[in-house]
Amino acid sequence: MTEYRKPKNPYLISLIIFPILTFVFSFFIFMPIILQADMMDWGYAISFVSFFLAVAFLITTIIISGFYKRAGKIFLDENILVHWQYDKLSWSRFTENEYIADKKNKRFLFLTILVFVFIIAMIFILINREVWKGFLIIFSILLLITGILSFLIPELNKKNHLKTFPQAFVSLKGVYLTGEFHIWDYLTAKLEKVFIDKKYMLIKIEYSYITSYKKEYKEVRIPIPENKFDEAVRITEQLRKKTKNKK
């Protein structure tokens, strides 16, 4: 039996809240009838809105239930490919490298938003020059908020990583690292690519998922502990077979 410190499933709280909301709004559907309210006045409106919300929360509950089960399967002994724990020094080094990469990504995103906002502002000002002051205030506030977030998010991620118990689980079902679960083979999520970065001694796993408007890609970078390179090669090959079988 594998010995490890099992993290809390992050979907547990949501799995409690959303079924309760589903039950509450299911009850509200029939509340106007129970209270013998005038259905033509506001009864039908309450029932309709409650029905819509109850269905939405039910669907959300089903989806979260799937994530909850799959997050739990990561820790089943038959699914775990490897479980690594890290010493304080190597974990601090990894966290610092992730922090630097995160800062670069957020700065690039901020500059992209800056250019986009500038172009939109110029278009609005050319269309109606009388409102340039209002748009200048609005866009300045937007850029200020974006700039603050681009600075704060890497800092908060770094602090969170340092507080997290330094361990990684690599499973056929997904990965747990730095307090986060990365799950594929559920809904639109799909494992895309797995390889070893020998320069930085990392396993890099790329998976994709469909958002409301496009296909997004997420990369997980897992530090390889000292003297564990052979294990890294083994699990990389196992995950590669999984990606080939999906094609």
In the chain, where the domains are located: 12-73, 80-246
Which pTM does this prediction carry? 0.66
pLDDT surpasses 90 at 187: no
95 contacts 170 by C-beta, under 8 angstroms: no
Which of 59-63, 70-74, 181-185 comes out lowest in average pLDDT?
Answer: 70-74
Closest C-alpha to 185, from 56, 45, 90, 79: 79
Structure confidence at residue 68 as a pLDDT band (50, 70, 90): confident
Structure confidence at residue 58 as a pLDDT band (50, 70, 90): very high
E-strand stretches of 133-189:
167-171, 174-177, 180-183
pLDDT surpasses 70 at 3: no
Q: Which two tokens stand for residue 110?
A: 């901020």
Q: Which two tokens stand for residue 62?
A: 């089903």
220 contacts 175 by C-beta, under 8 angstroms: yes
- Give the residue-averaged pLDDT of 196-214: 86
84 contacts 228 by C-beta, under 8 angstroms: yes
- Give the residue-averaged pLDDT of 31-53: 75
8 contacts 170 by C-beta, under 8 angstroms: no
pLDDT value of position 2: 45
Structure confidence at residue 130 as a pLDDT band (50, 70, 90): low
* CA atoms lying within 13 Å on the CB side of residue 42: 3
DSSP 171: E
Whole-number mean pLDDT of the chain? 81
- State the pairing for strand pair 202-210/80-85: unpaired
For 82-117, what is each residue's pLDDT tens digit?
Answer: 889 898 888 888 888 888 888 888 887 778 777 877
Residues forming a β-bridge with 207: 191, 218
